[in-house]
Chain A
Amino acid sequence: MLFDDPVFASRLLTLLTLSFHIIYATIGVGVPLMIMIAQWVGIKKNDMHYMLMARRWAKGFVVTVAVGVVTGTAIGLQLSLLWPNFMELAGNIIALPLFMEVFAFFFEAIFLGIYLYTWDRFDNPRKHLLLLIPVALGGGMSAVFITIVNAFMNAPAGFDIMNGQLVNANPIAAMFTAAMPTKVSHVLATAYMTVAFMLAAIAAFRLLKGSKHEYHKKALFMTMKIGLIFSIATVLIGDLSGKYLAEYQPEKLAAAEWHFETEEAAPLILYGMLDENQEVNYALQIPFGLSILAHGYPNAEVIGLDQFPAEEQPPLIIHYYFDLMVTIGMFMLALSFVYWVGAKRGWSFVKTAWYRSLIVLGGPLSFLGIEAGWWMAEVGRQPWILRGIMTVDQAATSSDYVGHMFILFVGLYFVLGVGTVVVLRRMFKNDPIEKALAKQQGGDSE
Chain B
Amino acid sequence: MSLEVLGISVLWLFLFGYVIVGSIDYGAGFFNAQSIITGKQHILSKIIQRYLSPVWEVTNVFFVFFFVGIVGFFPQSAYYFGTILLIPGSIALVLLAIRGSYYAFESYGARGHKGYAFMYGASGLLIPASLSIVLTISEGGFVSIVNDNPVLDYAALFTSPLTWSIVALSIVAVLYISAVFLTWYAYKTGDTKATDLMRKYALGWALPLIITASGIVYELSSHNEAHFERIMDLWWMFALSFILWFATVWLIWKRRNYGMAFWLLVGQFAMAFFAYGVSHYPYLLYPHLTIYEGFTNTAMAISLVFVFILGLALLLPSLYLLLRLFLFDKNYVQGIKNKKE
Contacts and interface: CB of A to CB of B under 8 A. Distances in A.
Interface residues of B, number: 71
Interface in B93-120: 93-94, 96-98, 100-101, 103-105, 108-110
Contacts of B308: 99
B324 to A, nearest CB: 10
B81 interface: yes
Contact of A114 (B65, B71, B325, B339): B325
Interface residues of A, number: 76
A8 to B, nearest CB: 15
Most chain A CB within 10 A, of B69, B149, B303, B304, is at B303
A52 to B, nearest CB: 13
B314 interface: yes
A190 B205 CA distance: 52
A427 B86 contact: no
A358 interface: no
B192 interface: no
B85 A81 contact: yes
Contacts of B58: 106, 109-110, 113
Given A73-B60, A113-B55, A426-B109, A81 B68 contact: no
A446 B339 contact: yes
Interface string A16-44: 00000000000000000000000000000
A84 B83 contact: yes
Contact of A412 (B94, B303, B322): B94
Prevailing SS type, chain B contact patch: helix
Contact of B87 (A59, A91, A401): A401
A405 B101 contact: no
Q: Considering the complex of A and B, which 6 residue pairs feature the smallest CB-CB distances, nearest first?
A: A91-B75, A95-B72, A66-B104, A84-B82, A423-B109, A87-B78
Interface of B: 53-55, 57-58, 60-61, 63-65, 67-69, 71-76, 78-87, 89-91, 93-94, 96-98, 100-101, 103-105, 108-110, 147, 149, 151-152, 296-297, 299-300, 303-304, 307-308, 311, 314-315, 318-319, 321-322, 325-326, 332, 337-339, 341
Given A80-B81, A91-B78, A101-B68, 20 more contacts: A65-B57, A80-B71, A92-B300, A95-B75, A96-B72, A96-B303, A102-B64, A102-B68, A107-B318, A110-B58, A110-B315, A111-B318, A113-B322, A117-B53, A120-B339, A398-B83, A398-B149, A401-B86, A408-B94, A426-B110
Interface of A: 59, 62-63, 65-67, 69-74, 76-78, 80-85, 87-93, 95-96, 98-103, 105-107, 109-114, 116-121, 134, 166, 169-172, 397-399, 401-402, 405, 408-409, 412, 415-416, 419-420, 422-423, 426-427, 445-446
